[in-house]
């Protein structure tokens, strides 16, 4: 059924995938006026849709590769699959690129002097391993100088940065952590997985295992690269037998939680994220022509003789596209990116994308529309809703080939 009337309004739900604090949930799109406002350089109506609440996945399926997979080929009709069928849907010669970032357990419940608990997400280390920029629930009630406690570590409120709070971790009148490893050990032993706020529940045993990819290595993210959550050891083994695998390391930061603002479109910039392209990844992608002028013509995606770069997740796509635009090719190295990709941008670094289903009018949905075409994605999402696909971080997935 191609009934697009359901796409006429934004579904007011918490911020896109990743973790966060429930009190900071807000619509995926924050408007200073209506979408028709002349102040908005992009018409956002095509990116709004309504989503039945029961299609929001609150828990992951078991096993992970039993999730559903909607396959959109370059020109054919969409087809319905189970995620474990992925190896049979790819093309000989494809290279899959994963983001192997690791989610840090930075969601803590700290005790106030009154005995009440306050939920805090540690977002970003500042000038010292013990000083952190944090997102705190009911942060307006915190006063500079107030002490919060967890175990034998106390956290002093040393400042505010807009809606964020700066905390200093102390133990016996000195900094509690002198190294990054000290801080990470505390989070690993005392914190909880920062599951998405729209789940409206505390972290449970299943989240400690399932809100992390099986190939995660590089600690530091406050949200999972959710397209990677569907992969099991057996599925990876089958993929490695038939295809080449590569990795990037993009640390997913607190900007994931930020709603779109007018200035994002004016500056064509989003939040900054850091990432690394390993030498072996750069070498492999160069060998299949990523970055070559001829390769960048995406019409080759319909040419079965060409090898494709398949990005697993929007964070992987953002890293590869950013590296390509900054260097003109995929070069090994450390990068920063604040790129904001949305229609009518053209994605040149990848020819296929594996991704979950995203929030309406979110930066990730706009990115996917830039890759696959807005009307095509509107139709795909209508089909997904009609067929009861599960949405967001713990939801189902899509294999999207470039048109």
Q: What is the pLDDT of residue 229?
A: 99
Mean pLDDT in residue range 286-311:
73
* Pair 273, 318: CB distance under 8 Å: yes
Look at 24-38, 184-198, 221-235, 353-367 and tell me which has the smallest mean pLDDT: 24-38
Same domain, 317 and 186: no
Query: pLDDT tens digit string along 263-283?
Result: 787 778 888 999 999 999 999
Strands (E), 104-188: 107-111, 117-125, 131-136, 147-150, 153-161, 164-171, 174-175
Model-level pTM greater than 0.85?
A: yes
Mean pLDDT in residue range 166-192:
95
Is 82 a member of any domain?
yes
Same domain, 58 and 155: no
CATH number at residue 113: 2.40.10.240
Same domain, 130 and 94: no
Same domain, 16 and 165: no
* Pair 90, 243: CB distance under 8 Å: yes
Examine the fold and report which residue of 129, 161, 191 is the final residue of a domain before the chain moves on: 191
Is 354 a member of any domain?
yes
Q: What is the pLDDT of residue 41?
A: 59
Short-list 174, 188, 182, 229, CA closest to 57 = 229
Overall number of domains in the chain: 2
Q: What is the distance between the alpha carbons of residues 211 and 59, in angstroms, rounded to a whole number?
A: 10
Q: What is the pLDDT of residue 55?
A: 96
**Which single residue is written with the structure tokens 């709004």?**
48
Same domain, 357 and 244: yes
DSSP state for residue 334 in the 8-state scheme: E
- pLDDT tier at 173, thresholds 50, 70, 90: confident
Is 118 a member of any domain?
yes
Q: What is the pLDDT of residue 14?
A: 33
Same domain, 116 and 94: no
**∠ Cα 16 19 20 (to 5°):** 95
Is 204 a member of any domain?
no
CATH number at residue 92: 3.40.1780.10
Query: pLDDT tens digit string along 99-131?
Result: 999 999 999 999 998 889 999 999 999 999 999
Q: What is the distance between the alpha carbons of residues 216 and 208, in angstroms, rounded to a whole number?
A: 13
Q: What is the pLDDT of residue 269?
A: 83
DSSP state for residue 15 in the 8-state scheme: P
User: 187 — phi, psi (to 5°)?
Assistant: -60, -40
Mean pLDDT in residue range 233-253:
98
User: 333 — phi, psi (to 5°)?
Assistant: 150, 180
Q: What is the distance between the alpha carbons of residues 255 and 351, in angstroms, rounded to a whole number?
A: 26
Query: pLDDT tens digit string along 339-386?
Result: 999 899 999 999 999 999 998 888 899 999 999 999 999 999 999 999
Same domain, 263 and 152: no
Mean pLDDT in residue range 284-295:
83
* Pair 331, 282: CB distance under 8 Å: yes
Q: What is the pLDDT of residue 4?
A: 32
| DSSP-derived secondary structure for 59-127 | S--SSGGGSEEEEE-SSS--EEEEGGGHHHHS-TT-EEEEE-EEE---EEEEEPTTS-EEEEEEEEE-S
* Pair 205, 333: CB distance under 8 Å: no
Same domain, 50 and 176: no
- pLDDT tier at 22, thresholds 50, 70, 90: very low
* Pair 141, 177: CB distance under 8 Å: no
Q: What is the pLDDT of residue 33?
A: 36
Q: What is the pLDDT of residue 18?
A: 36
- Give the residue numbers spanning the domain of 114: 107-191
Query: pLDDT tens digit string along 36-90?
Result: 444 555 677 788 889 999 999 999 999 999 999 999 998 888 999 999 999 999 9
pLDDT at 224 over 50: yes
pLDDT at 250 over 90: yes
Query: pLDDT tens digit string along 196-221?
Result: 888 888 899 999 999 999 999 989 99
Q: What is the distance between the alpha carbons of residues 206 and 216, in angstroms, rounded to a whole number?
A: 17
Short-list 402, 150, 169, CA closest to 300 = 402
pLDDT at 13 over 60: no
Is 120 a member of any domain?
yes
- pLDDT tier at 293, thresholds 50, 70, 90: low
Same domain, 225 and 97: yes
Same domain, 160 and 270: no
Is 18 a member of any domain?
yes
Mean pLDDT in residue range 315-344:
95
Cis status, amide bond into 344, omega within 30 of 0: yes
Same domain, 144 and 246: no
Examine the fold and report which residue of 131, 161, 191 is the final residue of a domain before the chain moves on: 191
Q: What is the pLDDT of residue 137?
A: 84
Largest CA distance in the chain: 68
Is 201 a member of any domain?
no
* Pair 291, 324: CB distance under 8 Å: yes
User: 176 — phi, psi (to 5°)?
Assistant: -75, -30
Same domain, 98 and 115: no
Averaged confidence pLDDT in the chain: 87
Is 200 a member of any domain?
no
- pLDDT tier at 35, thresholds 50, 70, 90: very low
Q: What is the pLDDT of residue 20?
A: 35
Q: What is the pLDDT of residue 31?
A: 32
Examine the fold and report which residue of 162, 191, 220 is the final residue of a domain before the chain moves on: 191
* Pair 308, 279: CB distance under 8 Å: no
């Amino acid at each position: 059924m191609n009934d697009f009337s359901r796409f006429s309004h934004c579904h007011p739900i918490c911020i896109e995938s990743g973790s966060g604090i429930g009190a900071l949930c807000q619509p995926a799109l924050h408007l200073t006026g209506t979408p028709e406002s002349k102040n908005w350089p992009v018409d956002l109506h095509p990116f709004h849709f309504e989503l039945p609440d029961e299609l929001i996945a609150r828990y992951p399926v078991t096993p992970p590769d039993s999730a559903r997979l909607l396959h959109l080929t370059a020109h054919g009709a969409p087809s319905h699959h189970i995620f474990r069928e992925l190896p049979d849907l790819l093309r000989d010669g494809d290279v899959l690129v994963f983001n192997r970032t690791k989610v840090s357990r930075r969601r803590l419940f700290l005790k106030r002097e009154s005995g009440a608990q306050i939920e805090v997400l540690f977002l970003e280390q500042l000038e010292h391993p013990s000083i952190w920029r944090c997102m705190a629930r009911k942060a307006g009630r915190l006063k500079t100088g107030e002490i919060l406690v967890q175990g034998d570590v106390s956290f002093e409120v040393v400042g505010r940065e807009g809606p964020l709070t700066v905390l200093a971790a102390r133990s016996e009148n000195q900094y509690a952590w002198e190294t990054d490893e000290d801080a990470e050990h505390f989070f690993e032993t005392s914190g909880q997985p920062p599951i998405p706020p729209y789940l409206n529940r505390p972290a449970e045993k299943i989240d400690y295992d399932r809100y992390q990819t099986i190939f995660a290595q590089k600690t530091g993210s406050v949200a999972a690269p959710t397209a990677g959550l569907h992969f099991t050891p057996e599925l990876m083994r089958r993929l490695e037998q038939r295809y080449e695998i590569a990795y990037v390391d993009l640390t997913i930061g607190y900007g994931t939680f930020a709603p779109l603002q007018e200035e994002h479109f004016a500056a064509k910039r989003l939040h900054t994220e850091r990432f690394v392209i390993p030498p072996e990844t750069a070498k492999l992608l160069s060998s299949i022509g990523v970055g070559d002028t001829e390769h960048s013509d995406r019409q080759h995606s319909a040419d079965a003789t060409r090898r494709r770069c398949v990005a697993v997740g929007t964070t992987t796509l953002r890293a590869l596209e950013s590296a390509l635009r900054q260097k003109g090719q995929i070069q090994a190295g450390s990068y920063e990116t604040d790129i904001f990709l949305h229609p009518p941008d053209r994605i040149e670094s990848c020819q296929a994308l594996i991704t979950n289903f995203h929030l309406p009018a979110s930066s990730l949905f706009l990115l996917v529309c830039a890759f696959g075409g807005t009307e095509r994605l509107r139709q795909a999402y209508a089909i997904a809703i009609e067929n009861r696909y599960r949405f967001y971080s713990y939801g189902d997935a899509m294999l999207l080939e470039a048109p």
